[in-house]
Amino acid sequence: MNSGTQGLKLTYLSACLASVLIHHSVAADEQNASQSVAQDKAIETLSIVGSRQAYQGNFSPLETPQSELKINSEALANAGAIDLNQALDLSASVARQNNFGGLWNSFALRGFVGDENLPSNYLVNGFNAGRGFGGSRDLSGIESVEVLKGPRAALFGRGEPGGTVNLVTKRPTFDTQGEIKLSAGSYDTYRADVDYTTPLTDDVAVRLVGFYEDAGSFRDTVKSQKEGFSPSIAWEISEQSTLVYELEYAHQEVPFDRGVIAIDNKLGVVPQSRFLGEPADGPIETDTLGHQVEFHHDFDDNWSVLLGANYRDTSLEGFATETGFAGVVDDEINRFRRYREYDAEYQVFRAELSGNLTLAGLEHRLIIGLDSDKFENDQFALRDRTTEQYINVFNPVYSDAGELANDFSTQIDRLETQESLGVFIQDQISLTDKLDVRIGARFDDYQQTLNNRSSDSRSKQEETRVSPQFGIVYEASDSLSVYATYGENFRPLSGTDSNGDGFEPNQSTSAEAGIKFTLNDGALFGTVAVFKVEQENLLVVDDPTTFTFAAIGEAESQGVEIDINGEIADGLTLWASYAYVDAKTKNAFFDGNFGYTIEAGTDLLNVPEQQLSLQLVQLLELDGKALEIGGGLVYVDKRNGYFGTDFTLPSYTTARAFVAYDITESIALRAEVDNLFDRDYYTNSFADVWVQPGTPRSFRVSASYQF
C-alpha cells in the first residue's frame, strides 16, 4: 500500500470531530395506539433540518421547477441500503453501470453516464466528491440521498447531463444520543455500526460515526473487508453563525471481479458463482481521506452567507487478472493481468450569498456565488500480455502467487489536472402569488493540463462556458403545481486523442415539464415529469492499446418519470418510483474498444427502457411495542449489454421483505431477506465477458442498542 496508509490509520484512531445543527421533533394528534407508536419511533430518529444545503436555496418542493427525489434515512433503512448502489435502486431514473470490478459507483441518470473510465461524480453536501478512487461509497455517515434530476449546471457547474446525486451527511444534534448496531448475514457477512452525538459545551457538539465490515460472497474465493470513520464537530459561534468541520476516512480491500461470461450470447451456462480471475492477485486496496469545512452566517431574517472548503485524497492500488474479449474456445478463455496505482486529489472552495428582496414590486429570491475546484487524476498501470493465461471456464484451476504472469509493460502513466473557476446567479421571481419564474446562469473558466509521462508529452487547453437555465412554476393550489424548465450543461472530458491533445467538454441541453402534488393532507408527495436530454462530443475509445480516445459521439434521451412517496393510511407508507427512458445514439461512429461501428439509434449501454422500484411498510403494535413489516420489489427491463452487438441483459424482478421489532425502548431486532424468490439476474455489463451477476437469496439479521 502507499505511504499515506499509516497517516490514514493515525487519523482513523485519533480524530474526534462532528458537525451541526438541530434535530426536529415530530408532533401529531394521537388517533390510535398504532399511530402513537409511529410518533415515538419518529422522535427517536435523528433528523437534521437546520443546515441549508449549498446551491439549493430556500424553496418548498411545490415551488421548485425541477424534479427531485429525496431518499431519507427511513426509506434507506426500509430498503436495507448500506451502500450507494442500493440507495439509488430506489430511484427508477437511475440505472446501474459498469462498476469497474466492484471498485466504484457508476450509474446513469436519465440514461446518461459520465466517463466510463472514472467513477460517476456525486456531491457530498454540495461538494464534488465522487470522482476519486476511494471505492464504492458506504452509507454509514449519510443521512439522506438526493437525486436532483435535470439540468443543474447553472448552479453546480460541471456535471452529468441527466442530473446530480447529492449525499447529505449525518451531523450532530445538541442532545446526547447514540446507537450501536451489529449485523450478520449470508455468505459470512458481519458488520458493526456506531453512531454517537453529544454536546461538549453549550456551543459545541460532536458526532462520531463509524463502521467495520468483513464479508464473504456468493462469488467463489471473493471476500472483502471495509472500515470507515466519519466524525464531525459543530460550533455555534453565535445565534447567527455556525462553523462545521467533517472528516471522512475509509479503507477497503476488495478483489477485482469482472463477473461472469456469456457463451454464444447465452447467460447461465457458467455458474453465477464462478470467479475467472486469480485469487492469488489478492485484493485491490482503496483509501479515502477527506476534510470539509463550512461556515454559515445569517445577516438577518432574509440574507445569509455560506462559505465552504473541501479536500479529498483517494487512492487505488493492486493486481488483477481479467478475462479478454476473444470469447471461449475449447472451454477456455484468454486473460490478461494488470497492476494499477491510481491517486486523485480534489480541492473545492465555494462562497454563496442568498436572500430575498423586493424590486419593482416583485419578490426576488436570489442565490449568488462563486466556486473553484482543482482535480488531479494520477494514473499508472502496467499490463501483462503473456499468452499462457487461459483458464477453463467449467473447471477452473487457479495459480499460485509465484505462477502469475509478470511480463509487464506500461499501459498508462499520466497526470491530468483540471482547474476551474465558476461564478453563478439564480433569481426566482414571484410574478404573482401563484406564478414564479426562475432565471439563472453560470460562467466557468476551465483549464486542463495533461502530462503523458509515457510519451514525455504535455498539452494544455483552456475553455470558457456559460450555462443558462430557465424555469417556470405555477402553484395551482396548496397541493398542486405545474412547472417547466430548460438548461444547458457541460462536463470536462478526461484523456487524450491520438496526438496527445485533450478535448473540448461534453455539451448537453435538457428540457423538462411536470406536475407536483400532495395527497392525504400533505402526507403523500408525488411528481410526474417528462424530459428530453441531448448531448454531443461524447468520448469513445480510439485505440485501446494506447488508451487514447475520440470525441465523436452524439446521443439523446427522453422519457417519463413518476415518483410517489409518503403515508397512504395510518401507519402504512408507500415508496414508488417508475421511469420510462428511451436513450439512444444519434450518429454512427467507430468504437475502437471492440472494433465495431456503432450505428445511429443504438440503445445506450445498461439503460433499461422501463424500471420500477416499489416498497410498502406497515407499522403495527405488538405487546405495546412497535412492529414494522415491509417489503418491496425492483423491476429492471432488458438492456443493451455490449455495444455493437445484439447481446442483451435479460429483464429481472427481485423482491425483498423485512420485519423489525422493538423489544424494549432501547433494543430492537431486525430480520430481512433479499431476492426473496432466489431469481438469477444480472445488474450490468461492459461486454459479454464482463457481466455482473446479482446476489442470490440472502438473509441478514441485526440488533441495535440506542442510548
d(CA 125, CA 142) in angstroms, rounded, equals 10
Residue 43: pLDDT band (50, 70, 90) is very low
- Residue 700 scores a pLDDT above 80: yes
Alpha carbons 167 and 269: distance in angstroms, whole number = 39
Tell me the pLDDT band of 33, cut-offs 50, 70 and 90.
very low
Q: 465 pLDDT band (50/70/90 cuts)?
A: confident
- Give residue 25's region: left, alpha or beta (phi > 0; psi -120 to 50): beta
* 280 pLDDT more than 90: yes
Which residues, other chains included, contact 187 with Cβ-Cβ below 8 Å and sequence gap of 6+? Answer: 215, 216, 217, 218, 698
| pLDDT-based confidence at residue 53 (cuts at 50, 70, 90) | low
Percent residues over pLDDT 70 in the chain:
91
Q: Are 462 and 495 in contact (CB under 8 A)?
A: no
Note the pLDDT tens digit of each residue in 435-447. 999 999 999 998 9
The 10s digit of each residue's pLDDT in 362-377 is: 999 999 999 999 999 9
Q: Model confidence over 172-216: pLDDT tens digits?
A: 999 999 999 999 999 999 999 999 999 999 999 999 999 999 999
* Mean pLDDT estimate for the chain: 89
State the cell numbers at 528. 410526474
May I ask the CATH class of domain 4-706? Answer: mainly beta
pLDDT at 555 over 60: yes
* Residue scoring higher pLDDT (3 or 56): 56
Copy the grid coordinates of residue 640: 443493451
Global confidence as pTM: 0.89
Eight-state DSSP code of residue 280: G
Confidence category of residue 131, pLDDT binned at 50, 70, 90: confident
470-498 burial, b at 16+ Cβ within 10 Å, e below that, comes to bbbbbbeeebebbbbbbbbbbbbbbbbbe
Cα(349)–Cα(330) distance, integer angstroms: 57
Segment among 51-55, 141-145, 283-287 with least mean pLDDT: 51-55
Mean pLDDT in residue range 411-426: 93
pLDDT on residue 502: 74
pLDDT score of 527 more than 90: yes
- Give per-residue pLDDT as tens, 216-249: 999 999 999 999 999 999 999 999 999 999 999 9
From 54, 64, 51, select the one nearest 23 (Cα to Cα): 51
User: What SS3 class is residue 625?
Assistant: strand
Q: Is the pLDDT of residue 155 over 80?
A: no
Grid coordinates representing 329 are 474456445
Is the pLDDT score of 152 beyond 90?
no
User: Does residue 280 come out as left (phi exceeding 0), alpha (psi in the -120 to 50 range) or beta?
Assistant: alpha
Task: Name, in order, each residue with C-beta under 8 angstroms of 407's C-beta and a sequence gap of 6 or more.
Answer: 384, 385, 386
Tell me the domain boundaries of the chain: 4-706
Yes or no: say if 705 and 179 are a contact pair by the CB < 8 Å rule: yes
How confident is the model at residue 158, as a pLDDT? 66
CB atoms within 10 A of CB 202: 8
CA distance 228 to 224: 14
**pLDDT at 12 > cutoff 90:** no
